[in-house]
Amino acid sequence: MERLLQTLAARIRGARRLTAMTGAGISAASGVPTFRGPGGMWRTHRAEDLATPDAFASAPALVWERYASRREKVASCRPNAAHDVLARWSTREGVVVVTQNVDDLHVRAGTRDLVRLHGSLWELACFGRCTAGAQPWRDERVPLPDAIPRCPHCGGHARPAVVWFGESLDPADVSRALEATACDLFLTIGTSAVVYPAAGLVREARSRGAFTAEINLEETPASSLVDLDIRGHAEEILPTLDALL
C-alpha cells in the first residue's frame, strides 16, 4: 500500500490537469447512507420505483417523503476529511471535481470547479416545467412546510432538482465532465461505477491518455480498467495522499 500511495502521490504532484470523480462512498464517513451499501436506498427500494419521473407522476407524496427524509439525514451531516482534501486541491489550477452525489457536501466543503452531474437535494424545480419554474431554485428548509411542495410560478407540483433514471443529464454538466476527462490524472473515488453516463468517464479519460486510479473499499467494474487500484476508505486515503504531496 505504501508504494501504491507514493506512486499516486507522485502522479498528483506532477499532474497539470487532475480530475476527481466521486460517488456515495465519499460521503459514507459523513453518515450519508450509500445506495448499494448496508441500509442503502437501492437496497430497500428499486431505484426505478422512486427515482424516475413516472414514479413521481404516480406517487408524488411517496417520492417527496423519501427525498424529505434524505434531506433531513444529510442536514445533520458534515463534509469529512475526504471532501476537505478535494476542496483544498480544487484551489489549484487544473483541478476539477465531478460528483454523482446530490448531498452538496462538496459544496459545503468549499470545492471550486465542481460539476454536479445528478443535481442537488437542496434544489427544487417545477415538475410541469413551466417557463419560470424550469430553472431550479434553492430551498434548504428542513422540514419543508408542504408534503408536496408547489411551484411558486404556476402552482403545480415542485420536484427535487435531481436527475432521475431515464432522464438526460444537463448537457452543460455533461460537456464540462467530458472536457475534464482530457486530464493527466483521473481519480474515481467511492463509486460502484454502474450508473451511466457517469460510469463511462473513467474509460473516456483513459482513452484520452490520462493515468487513472480508483479508491474504493471494494472491487467495481472500473477496477480492471484503471492503472492503479487502491482498496481503502477515501476519508483515510485522501488525507494520507495529501500529506505525501
By CB under 6 A, name the binding residues for ligand BV8: 23-25, 28-29, 34-37, 40, 51, 100, 102, 118, 162-168, 190-192, 194-198, 215-218, 220, 233-235
64 contacts 147 by C-beta, under 8 angstroms: yes
- The H or E element containing residue 55 is helix 53-58
Least distance in Å: CB of 16 to ligand BV8?
26
Least distance in Å: CB of 98 to ligand BV8?
11
Q: Which is nearer to ligand BV8, 4 or 154 (CB)?
A: 4
| Catalytic hit among 118, 153, 157, 233 | 118
Least distance in Å: CB of 228 to ligand BV8?
15
Place of cell 480508483: 214
Q: Which is nearer to ligand BV8, 25 or 149 (CB)?
A: 25
Least distance in Å: CB of 212 to ligand BV8?
16
Q: Which is nearer to ligand BV8, 179 or 236 (CB)?
A: 236
Least distance in Å: CB of 93 to ligand BV8?
27
In the DSSP assignment, the letter for residue 163 is P
Q: Which is nearer to ligand BV8, 14 or 175 (CB)?
A: 175
- The H or E element containing residue 95 is strand 95-99
126 DSSP β-pair partners? 158
Q: Clarify whether 153 is annotated catalytic.
A: no
Q: Quick count: other Cβ atoms within 10 Å of Cβ 85?
A: 22
Q: Which residue is nearest to ligand BV8 (CB)?
A: 25
Would you state the cell numbers that stand for residue 40, as one nine-digit string?
Answer: 442503502
Task: Round to whole Å and give the CA distance between 140 and 121.
Answer: 9
Decide the pairing of beta strands 211-216 and 228-231.
Answer: parallel
Q: Which is nearer to ligand BV8, 29 or 185 (CB)?
A: 29
Residues 6+ apart with CB under 8 A from 79: 30, 87, 105, 106, 108, 109
Q: What angle, rounded to 10 degrees, do the helices at 234-244 and 2-14 form? A: 60
Residue 120 has φ and ψ, to the nearest 5°, of -145, 140
The amino acid sitting at 50 is: L
Would you state the cell numbers that stand for residue 69, as one nine-digit string?
Answer: 427524509
- Active site residue ranges: 118
